[in-house]
Amino acid sequence: MEFPDPQAGPGQVRVRVKAAGVQHYDCSIRSGWTPPGVSEQLPKIPGNEFAGIIDQVGDGVTEFTAGTEVLGYSLLNCYAEYVVVGVDQLVKKPANMPWEVAGGLTGNGQGAYIALRAIGVGEGDTVLIHGAAGSLGSYAVQLAKLWGAKTVIGTASESNHDYVRSLGAIPVTYGEGLVERVRALAPDGVDAAFDTAGAEGVRASVELVEDRNRICTFVAYDIIEELGIPAVRGVRSAARLAELAGLHASGKLRTTIRQTFPLEQVQAAHRLIETRHGGGEIVLTMDND
């Protein structure tokens, strides 16, 4: 379906999109879910993160000019040739950051940042990350190490153990006996846990972490009340995104691209992410030069 090109209003810019990350959030939008604060009006264009080149600047904008390469976020509308956002929703793209990396950084990068800050990960901690090979989990492993965690243990399938090690974590296999395997790796205990995989990881974390306020999940929200752990959600920020982009530009934060798809193959991209198998970002690329 064709739509008129959006126009930048006061305090906004229009970005010619080069890449847009694919998230489970987008699949929920496609399935009919409407985020809080968004109108029920159809059609909805999915996509909540992007990278591209500013090509139109609205009244009152002084921070950016046409031609600036940027990355940013929006609740919707990023699976498109153009997206219009406020200037508080984007940052300049580092020159050494590939488009596909820039397009897929903000969702999982900021998600991992928000989660680890919420559970207080810091100097000397032993941290358990469930789903450590996934795009969200892999950012969490790296940030935990950067913020001073002494030991990071990451659950993953055996085929992904080498990858998890390369991120700086000790890999451990899912499944029966997980709690005992983690205890063997962390005889002094686990201080905090972040789940990106599901109920199994959350239930194991409750057995391993003494303070339930230091456990969070971004998947199994249906059991957090039962288990007495906090509901962690957060709001993205340009300042946080700029910090993450700077870490990547300096070589301190690694992004793995699992697969890229042209925009017209978005259905295939959604089918792939919904398998919940494999690690790394899935990104759409736009042929709009």
**Cα gap 75→52, rounded to integer Å:** 17
Give pLDDT, residue 33. Answer: 73
Give pLDDT, residue 36. Answer: 67
Give pLDDT, residue 1. Answer: 63
Q: Is the dihedral of CA 150, 206, 195, 226 positive or negative?
A: negative
135-146 helix and 106-118 helix, angle to the nearest 10 degrees: 50
Buried b (16+ CB within 10 A) or exposed e, 126-164: bbbbbbbbbbbbbbbbbbbbebebebbbbbbbeebbebb
pLDDT, tens digit, 9 for 90 and up, residues 173-187 = 999 999 999 999 999
Mean pLDDT across the chain, nearest whole number?
93
Give pLDDT, residue 88. Answer: 97
> 0.85 exceeded by the pTM?
yes
Give pLDDT, residue 86. Answer: 97
Enumerate residue ranges in the chain where pLDDT < 70. Answer: 1, 34-42, 289
Give pLDDT, residue 35. Answer: 67
